[in-house]
Every structure is written in structure tokens, then in C-alpha cells.
Amino acid sequence: MKKITSVCPYCGAGCKLKLVVEKNKIIRAEAADGVTNQNELCLKGYYGWDFLNDTKLLTPRLTQPMIRYEKGGKLQPVSWDEAISYTAKRLKAIKEQHGPRSIMTTGSSRGTGNETNYVMQKFARGVLHTNNVDCCARVCHGPSVAGLQVTLGNGAMSNSIGDIEHSKCLLVFGYNCADSHPIVARRVIKAKENGAKIIVCDPRRIETARIADQHLQLKNGCNMALVNAFGYVLLEENLYDKEYVAKYTDGLDAYREVVKGYAPEDVEHLTGVPAHMVRQAMRTFAAAPSATIMWGMGVTQFGQAVDVVKGLSSLALLTGNLGRENVGVGPVRGQNNVQGACDMGVLPNQFPGYQDVVDPEVRAKFAKAWGINVDDMDDKVGVRITEVPHMAIEGEMKAYYIMGEDPLQTEADLGLVRKGFEALDFVVVQDIFMTKTAEVADVILPATSWGEHGGVFTCADRGFQRFEKAIDAKYNVKRDWEIISLLATEMGYPMHYDNNQQIWDELRELCPLFYGVTYEKMGEMGHVQWPCPTLDHSGTPYLYKDSKFDTPNGKGQLFAAEWRAPAEVPDADYPLVLCTVREVGHYSCRSMTGNCAALQTLADEPGFVQINPTDAELLNIKDKQLVWVSSRRGKVISRAEVNERINLGSVYMTYQWWIGACNELTQDNLDPISKTPETKYCAVNISQI
């Protein structure tokens, strides 16, 4: 029996665990003393390894390469040589006929690790010659990255997960940490025990609201109006830190000009939050010696998400809550390695280490290191994954190489996404399970899973952590980066790596932010936070020391925008607002956790539609009754959960099931900057079956 150190693959909390292994089987998981989890795990950490033992899997594991030679034909098992040669030939032909930008690629924010994401974006940029590479950050915290890069200079959490429990005020906005990051939720409870004031802004009475000093139960879709009202109170009541604002920020006059129209009393009808509560919240927030703002998808999955992120960071700037311990802004990243996928340049606008693709010097540096002609590199920002369905339908996108993502379940407006996939000439899926997207692929490239390989993940607080291989893969599968390297070589760009560390050292050399994060240092320290620019640097627990921001002029940028209504509001036909949410026992599209017995038992039936008792009574719907939920785009069956924690006029569905998939109903109104869809708001109806 041996114990292998790993990092949980199920959320950005980055909890360390030990996988106990006997005869190439996982026996159990034990909590380890990680910086972020300190010997604690949630249910997913304890029971999320079961699928590795291959016991009665509900979703089949991909066990060998397969090709569908003709549209409408069957997937046929083939050798690796044939799969690589066929894929390379098809991609080359499409590139030659339609150009590099007709091919889309994705990295993965899940269990594959940073090294693979680096290799995937190198394949896109260095072999296909396109910046069309993206990841699921686009549909979650893309707005946090875009917003914070403008206001503060970096798109990540400013401080550490450990800081949360020492902060004296937590403003938790659109973030259900109990379901999303249970171990982070424990930090929130510890903060409360340490005397912190907790302010929750959420339309639902979520778990955290139960321990909150104030719960501002705003109406869905009004985030910008409430954030502006907060700003109004800080200025009007002189609660802001004038000295800090004068010294370290820009843009106060323009900010004041916008928020002056958002007196809490004037927007009460819009936000649904009583004015005195808005005022009290800001008095508490501004009076705290240290305050932290945390947010989740309740902020980012809206058509005006980037503006709201900028508005939230402005609250931190106005009160001087940046540049020191136990304060800051915390967009708590969802998937376990979504921070890492962004760090590694699986973004259409940035190389690894957040270096801009439109900067000629940066392109020249990467071209030289990769041994390619700089003139072959794409000098424009690439396509985002949410733009692919539209472009495919228009005939502008021809091929899609998808690694570790399941857009046919997790993207908004699945009817539209399906049409986009039908219009594509060639779809390659590299994954571990026969997901909904793998089912329509022309080529399946089966990969090893977390547990069957090692590597480096980045957790939500910028911390790089190594995870080790626990068992040998049982099937005819390969490591993700090995598959990509074989494809690159077959397409005429020789690519070979012997191990993860070779890749890691190559990317370190190219990324000043990460240069000092060696494998040895991660081994010794366990968790090294970027920036870590030199070999003797021990990492950065909090950004913007002494309030020096990474913006062009070194100052924090204050920002407010007029509130815009969501794209589709309720009417007589579709009188309710649908908001998608997460289920605590499952992860993403559920392919991994849905194949773990204990987690399956916890939630063994396609999700629910949560509805307020008053709305349920009006519609004559009983608790646990099967109902139709319909929108202008589709109709699904779900089971009603009549729940008094739900606000009037809104219903909530989990996105983790393909039966009763809520994304059949959602709409893809995209934020104009980040191109993130408004999955938190569309109009629906509920009717009896």
C-alpha cells in the first residue's frame, strides 16, 4: 500500500489529499495538510476518485482511439498511428484550404494540468498558426480577468485563500461558496468566528446568508445598480478613504458622475434592496479595518459582467482594501485548474504568463524559443469558444479540436451549439469519457485521467501545486501533451518531451511571472504563488504591495457604468427568471463525479428546479412533482423543489445533468468584452406534465 500526494481535481480551492493505492487500485482518499485546506476535504475530495477503478461507470471511459470516417457513420476503433495520421491530414487540409483561423482549439481547466495547457496553446500558435485557443474561463470567470486587468492590472485573486478567515469584513457577492468551494466556505465560517462581519448579496437565501450579519436579497439581474448604489453611499456619506484614493487611484470624477444617479432610495424599486440596508452594508464595509470582496458566477455570468467586476474592484479601491494582507478582491475560480489554464495562455489574447499576442516583441520571443518564423504567427486576437457556434453556422469555422471540455452540455443555448457542431467539417475530442461532445466527434483521442498522470495545477489564489501520478492507466490511452506532440510532429513540427518537468522548465523561461517557480521549489514549499520572478523569490501571497498597481500608470482605475437590463426579461408567456446554479456533490458536466458511487448516491437523479412556495402555489405545482420548464429555445423535464429560500419570481436549476439540461433553455447574450454568456438570466415558464 502506498500514499500518493495529489491535489483535488474538483474546484479552485486546490485542496491537497493523499490517494491510498493498493495493487494499482485507489482504496481511499485522505485529507493532507495543504496550504488552502489544512487537513480538511469536502465530499468530492473524499469520494471523487472512484471512477479511476472503473467500477460500473455510467458514462463509458474512452479506452482506445476512434475515427468516424464519414458524417453519419459509426465511430470505429483504430490504432494510435492511424488516429494521429488521419487527424493531422484533415487539420492540414482544412488549414490549407480555409486558413489557420478556421480551426478552433481548447485547453482544459480540469485534471490535465498546466504543462498540457502550455503544449496545447503552443500547438495552436506554433503549428496551426492561430490564436484560436480558449478554455472554459470564457463561460465562468472571463469577466473577472478582463475587468481586473483593467482596474488593477492582474485578473486573479489579489490575496490568498488563507487571508479570508483573518479579514474583518467579507462582502460575498453572487457567490454560493458552500456549494461551489466548500473548503473556502469553512474559511468564511472561521472569519465569522474570528469576529468578521459578513455581508451577503444574493437573490437566494444561500447557506452563507444564514451566518451573515446582513443579507441583501437583490433582484436577479440588478448587480450593476446595487454596486453603483454602494459607491454612491461611500461617496455621499464620506465613508471612502480620501487619502488613499487621491494617492493610488485614477478616475474619481468620472466615477462620481455615474454613481450619483444611484442613490439607494432611488434604485430600491430596481434592486429590491431597502435603502437603509444598502447604507448599513457600506457603513460596515468601510468601517472594517480589513475587508475582502468575494464573488462567483452570480457576478460573471451576465451580459454586463465585466462592468460589475470593475465596479466591485472600485469598492475595494475606494476603501483602501488592497495591497496588504487580509483584504482584496477574490474572484474565486470554479474549476480546479481554470486559473492555470489562463496562466498557461489558453486564451485567445495572451501567451502564457499574460503576455499579449498583439505585442510584436512578445511574438518574436515565443517564435524564437519555439523555432518558428515569426511571420507565420497570428498577430490578431483569436476566437472565443462562445463565438464558435455562430462562426460555424456562418461557414467561417471549419474544425474544432476540443480537449477536456464538453460544450454540448455546458454552453448556453444548446440548440444553437448543436447547430454549430453540425455545421463543422471536422471535430476532434480528446477526453477521458464519452461525453455529449465526444458522441458527435469525428476523431476520439483517449487520454489519461487525473490520478493516472502528474503535473502542476494552479489553485484560485495563484498558487502552483504539484500533483503526482497514483496508478497506471488500464487502457490504450496517452497523456494529453504526448498526443498533442505526436500530432504536431505529424504535421511537420517536431515536438517531443520526455516528462512534465521539461515542459515546465520551457514555459518558466518564457514567463517572467513564473520564472522562479521551479519543480524543486514547489516540492519544498508545496504551494508557490505567482508572481515569482527569480529563483530566490518565495512567491507572492498578496498582489499590489504598497498599492502599486500593475496598470499602465501604476494606479488603480475607478470605474462605474450605467446599469443595463438583461437581454431577455420575463413576460406573460415566460413569466419567471431562470438562473443556473451548481450542485455541491457534482463537478462541471458530472462525467467524473457522476461515475463515483458515493457522489452518485448523493444526487442520483437529474437535477431540480427550485421554486418559491408562493410561485408554486400560483402555478399549482407541488414539491417533488415532475414539471416542464420551457423557454423560447427549448423545453426540459425537471422535478420541482419548492423551497422558501428561493426569491419570488425566479427559479433555479443545476447545469450538471444532460437529462433535463438547463442549457437547453439558457440564452447566449454575451458580455461585449469577455464574450461570456448570460446564463444566470433568461425568461422561462413552468407547467404541469
Pairing of strands 635-642, 328-331: unpaired
Q: Which window, 13-21, 115-123, 600-608, 678-686, contacts ligand SF4 (CB under 6 A)?
A: 13-21
Nearer of residues 15 and 281 to ligand SF4, judged by Cβ: 15
Nearer of residues 183 and 629 to ligand SF4, judged by Cβ: 183
CB of 48 to ligand SF4, least distance (A): 7
Kindly state whether residue 226 participates in binding ligand SF4, applying the rule CB under 6 A.
Answer: no
Kindly state whether residue 640 participates in binding ligand SF4, applying the rule CB under 6 A.
Answer: no
How far is 263 from 275, CA to CA, in rounded Å?
A: 8
Are the C-beta atoms of residues 75 and 67 closer than 8 Å to each other? yes
Q: Which window, 35-43, 78-86, 91-99, 623-631, contacts ligand SF4 (CB under 6 A)?
A: 35-43
How far is 122 from 117, CA to CA, in rounded Å?
A: 9
Kindly state whether residue 15 participates in binding ligand SF4, applying the rule CB under 6 A.
Answer: yes
Residue choice 5, 8, 153, 291 for contact with ligand SF4 (CB under 6 A): 8
Kindly state whether residue 337 participates in binding ligand SF4, applying the rule CB under 6 A.
Answer: no
Residue choice 19, 26, 32, 42 for contact with ligand SF4 (CB under 6 A): 42
Kindly state whether residue 182 participates in binding ligand SF4, applying the rule CB under 6 A.
Answer: yes
Q: How many CA atoms lie within 13 A of 475 on its CB side?
A: 23
Pairing of strands 66-67, 635-642: unpaired
Q: Which window, 178-186, 212-220, 370-378, 449-457, contacts ligand SF4 (CB under 6 A)?
A: 178-186
Binding residues for ligand SF4, how many (CB under 6 A)? 14
Distance of CA 663 to the CA centre of its chain: 17
Kindly state whether residue 19 participates in binding ligand SF4, applying the rule CB under 6 A.
Answer: no
- Give residue 581's region: left, alpha or beta (phi > 0; psi -120 to 50): beta
Sheet architecture: strand order including 528-529:
455-458, 463-467, 528-529
Nearer of residues 41 and 424 to ligand SF4, judged by Cβ: 41
CB of 508 to ligand SF4, least distance (A): 25
Residue choice 5, 45, 86, 351 for contact with ligand SF4 (CB under 6 A): 45
Task: Quote the cell numbers at residue 471.
Answer: 496508478
How far is 399 from 380, CA to CA, in rounded Å?
A: 19
Asked whether the CA dihedral 324, 330, 335, 338 is positive or negative, the reply is negative
Kindly state whether residue 164 participates in binding ligand SF4, applying the rule CB under 6 A.
Answer: no
CB of 624 to ligand SF4, least distance (A): 28
Kindly state whether residue 10 participates in binding ligand SF4, applying the rule CB under 6 A.
Answer: yes
Residue choice 6, 37, 131, 449 for contact with ligand SF4 (CB under 6 A): 37
Q: Helices 223-236 and 305-318 sit at what angle, rounded to 10 degrees?
A: 20
Nearer of residues 44 and 204 to ligand SF4, judged by Cβ: 44
Sheet architecture: strand order including 214-216:
214-216, 197-201, 169-173, 292-295, 328-331
- The partner residues of 608 in beta bridges, in order of sequence, read 639
Selection from 37, 29, 32 nearest residue 11 by Cα: 37
CB of 41 to ligand SF4, least distance (A): 4
Nearer of residues 181 and 478 to ligand SF4, judged by Cβ: 181
CB atoms within 10 A of CB 484: 27
Nearer of residues 37 and 676 to ligand SF4, judged by Cβ: 37
Selection from 416, 437, 441 nearest residue 427 by Cα: 441
The pair phi, psi for residue 611, each rounded to 5°, is -145, 145
Pairing of strands 133-134, 528-529: unpaired
CB of 185 to ligand SF4, least distance (A): 8
Kindly state whether residue 181 participates in binding ligand SF4, applying the rule CB under 6 A.
Answer: yes
Nearer of residues 559 and 587 to ligand SF4, judged by Cβ: 587
Start-to-end C-alpha separation, the chain: 53
Q: Which window, 42-50, 295-303, 371-379, 633-641, contacts ligand SF4 (CB under 6 A)?
A: 42-50
Q: Which window, 36-44, 158-166, 200-208, 218-226, contacts ligand SF4 (CB under 6 A)?
A: 36-44
Are the C-beta atoms of residues 343 and 107 closer than 8 Å to each other? no
Task: Quote the cell numbers at residue 282.
Answer: 457600506
Kindly state whether residue 297 participates in binding ligand SF4, applying the rule CB under 6 A.
Answer: no
Kindly state whether residue 13 participates in binding ligand SF4, applying the rule CB under 6 A.
Answer: yes
Nearer of residues 10 and 248 to ligand SF4, judged by Cβ: 10
| Amino acid in position 57 | L
Q: For residues 360-379, which are near ligand SF4 according to CB under 6 A? A: none
Q: How many CA atoms lie within 13 A of 579 on its CB side?
A: 26
Interface with ligand SF4 (CB under 6 A): 8, 10-11, 13-15, 37, 41-42, 44-45, 181-183
